[in-house]
């Protein structure tokens, strides 16, 4: 009997997995047996202090957020069973989108089932052939893929990259764009607000000035900045004294500080949101955000707006954690974000250190290639407003042990 399937697929797949295993680079999924909080119940380890979730404001298991989700489930049922424009738009979507627009002080917003989807919607929908997208080299994978997709869908759309957080490099790309005869449309400058692997921030006021000088639009993905940065958690722009309306388009996630359920959004001008509704492929061909999440996320934003002290608590925890990491003998970037990367270079070492920390009751993930470039493996410590002093002490004690054992 002849087989139609090429024999190479199973063998090459197995080879990749075997190599990862041999090199100590295989990722293991831990199983959590209870809610996401300052501590989590981990199968095989019991209760451990959690320093690797994006639960920045501690709202993922907040009673009001949980209750709002349950009420949404009861009121609207388990599924939307449709994309938005067919019959998938529920009252709670409008309420949430109005809340997001109000939160940022912009005209409108539109939600998606993830920020990944939002980033795959914005560039292919708003950009046209002859436009130029200029992107920070360290932008999140969803931005990179969204731009790649846009360039495939809109043939003649131009794209380029500037060096990470380097304003001279950005200016050079803008000068080149204006001099490029093929660039006949709009220039889009795209950056993360908070960079997810580095924990540093984009200089948004300087980028705004550059965009204005060159007549470019500024798009900021503030997935890790929303709820974290600025006195009231509005995001990286607020931390730098800018109103939300000075960013042309903000994309973000509901899967981190804002309740942590899932979902993403684009916030900005009503005109662009209307176009996304008419033409965005994830909008037209993918189901609406589940109502239970729309309701819980809306409640999470309401709590954030009502209790800015949560942001202050997070900030105090971030400062204490960074000092503790340094006290334990590791270098960490001095930044106000809740992402504290400890660079250890080697992927296998990062994974081994993370495993050891878990034995010590501290849950921190080691990141290696392909999440970060080869040679840049790291432990990424993430801080939450839910952490108490005792959790931070546990983190520092664990890191001190690592320092001794992995000298
Ligand atoms: C900067 C950034 N953008 C987008 C995403 C994707 O968000 P979501 O999980 O909602 O797809 C992430 C998630 O890690 C992120 O860090």
Q: Tens place of pLDDT for every residue, the chain, 407 residues?
A: 556 666 799 999 999 999 999 988 888 899 999 999 999 999 999 999 999 999 999 999 999 999 999 999 999 999 999 999 999 999 999 999 999 999 999 999 999 999 999 999 999 999 999 999 999 999 999 999 999 999 999 999 999 999 999 999 999 999 999 999 999 999 999 999 999 999 999 999 999 999 999 999 999 999 999 999 999 999 999 999 999 999 999 999 999 999 999 999 999 999 999 999 999 999 999 999 999 999 999 999 999 999 999 999 999 999 999 999 999 999 998 889 999 999 999 988 999 999 999 999 999 999 888 888 889 999 999 999 999 999 999 999 999 999 999 97
Domain that holds residue 132: 63-306
Same domain flag for 46 and 121? no
Q: Is 54 a pocket residue for ligand 1 (Cβ < 6 Å)? A: no
Mark which of 284, 306, 328 sits at the end of a domain.
Answer: 306
Contacts of 392-396 spanning 24+ positions with Cβ under 8 A = 392/317, 392/320, 392/321, 392/324, 393/324, 394/49, 394/360, 394/361, 394/362, 395/49, 395/51, 395/321, 395/324, 395/325, 395/362, 395/364, 396/324, 396/325, 396/327, 396/328
Q: Is 253 a pocket residue for ligand 1 (Cβ < 6 Å)? A: yes
Output the pLDDT for position 407: 74
Number of domains in the chain: 2
Output the pLDDT for position 123: 98
* 251 CA → ligand 1 middle, Å: 9
Contacts of 314-322 spanning 24+ positions with Cβ under 8 A = 314/56, 314/57, 314/228, 314/338, 314/383, 314/384, 314/385, 317/383, 317/384, 317/385, 317/387, 317/392, 318/383, 320/389, 320/392, 321/381, 321/383, 321/387, 321/392, 321/395
* 170 CA → ligand 1 middle, Å: 23
Mark which of 286, 306, 326 sits at the end of a domain.
Answer: 306
Q: Is 280 a pocket residue for ligand 1 (Cβ < 6 Å)? A: no
Same domain flag for 268 and 216? yes
Cβ-contact 239, 250 below 8 angstroms: no
Same domain flag for 106 and 37? no
* 291 CA → ligand 1 middle, Å: 20
Same domain flag for 83 and 146? yes
Same domain flag for 270 and 363? no
Same domain flag for 173 and 34? no
**Residues labelled as active-site residues:** 196, 224, 256
Q: Is 114 a pocket residue for ligand 1 (Cβ < 6 Å)? A: yes
């Amino acid at each position: 009997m002849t087989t139609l399937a090429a024999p190479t697929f199973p063998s090459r797949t197995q080879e990749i997995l075997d190599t990862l295993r041999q090199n100590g680079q295989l990722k293991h999924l831990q199983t959590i047996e209870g809610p996401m909080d300052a501590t989590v119940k981990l199968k095989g380890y019991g209760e451990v202090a959690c320093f690797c979730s994006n639960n920045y404001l501690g709202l993922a298991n907040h009673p009001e957020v949980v209750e709002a989700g349950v009420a949404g489930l009861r009121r609207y049922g388990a599924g939307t069973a449709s994309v938005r424009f067919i019959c998938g738009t529920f009252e709670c979507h409008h309420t949430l989108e109005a809340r997001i627009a109000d939160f940022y002080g912009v005209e409108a917003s539109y939600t998606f089932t993830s920020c990944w989807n939002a980033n795959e919607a914005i560039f292919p929908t708003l950009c046209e052939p002859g436009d130029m997208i200029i992107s920070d080299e360290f932008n999140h994978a969803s931005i990179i893929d969204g731009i790649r997709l846009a360039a495939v869908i809109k043939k003649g759309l131009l794209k380029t990259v500037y060096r990470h957080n380097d304003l001279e490099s950005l200016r050079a790309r803008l000068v080149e764009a204006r001099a490029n005869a093929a660039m006949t449309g709009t220039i889009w400058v795209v950056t993360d607000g908070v960079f997810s692997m580095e924990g540093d921030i984009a200089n948004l006021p300087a980028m705004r000035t550059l965009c204005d000088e060159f007549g470019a639009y500024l798009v900021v993905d503030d997935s890790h900045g929303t709820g974290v940065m600025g006195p009231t958690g509005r995001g990286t722009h607020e931390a730098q004294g800018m109103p939300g309306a000075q960013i042309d388009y903000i994309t973000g996630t509901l899967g981190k500080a804002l309740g942590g359920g899932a979902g993403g959004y684009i916030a900005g001008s009503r005109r662009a949101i209307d176009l996304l509704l008419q033409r965005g492929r994830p909008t037209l061909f993918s189901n609406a955000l589940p109502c239970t999440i729309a309701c819980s996320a809306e409640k999470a934003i309401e709590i954030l707006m009502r209790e800015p002290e949560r942001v202050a608590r997070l900030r105090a925890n971030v400062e204490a954690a960074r000092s503790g990491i340094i006290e334990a003998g590791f270098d960490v970037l001095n930044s106000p974000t809740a992402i504290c990367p400890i660079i250890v270079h080697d992927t296998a070492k990062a994974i081994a250190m993370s495993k050891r920390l878990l034995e010590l009751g501290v849950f921190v993930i080691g990141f290696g290639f392909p999440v970060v470039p080869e040679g840049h493996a790291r432990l990424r410590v993430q801080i939450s407003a839910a952490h108490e002093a005792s959790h931070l002490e546990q983190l520092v004690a664990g890191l001190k042990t690592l320092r001794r054992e992995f000298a």
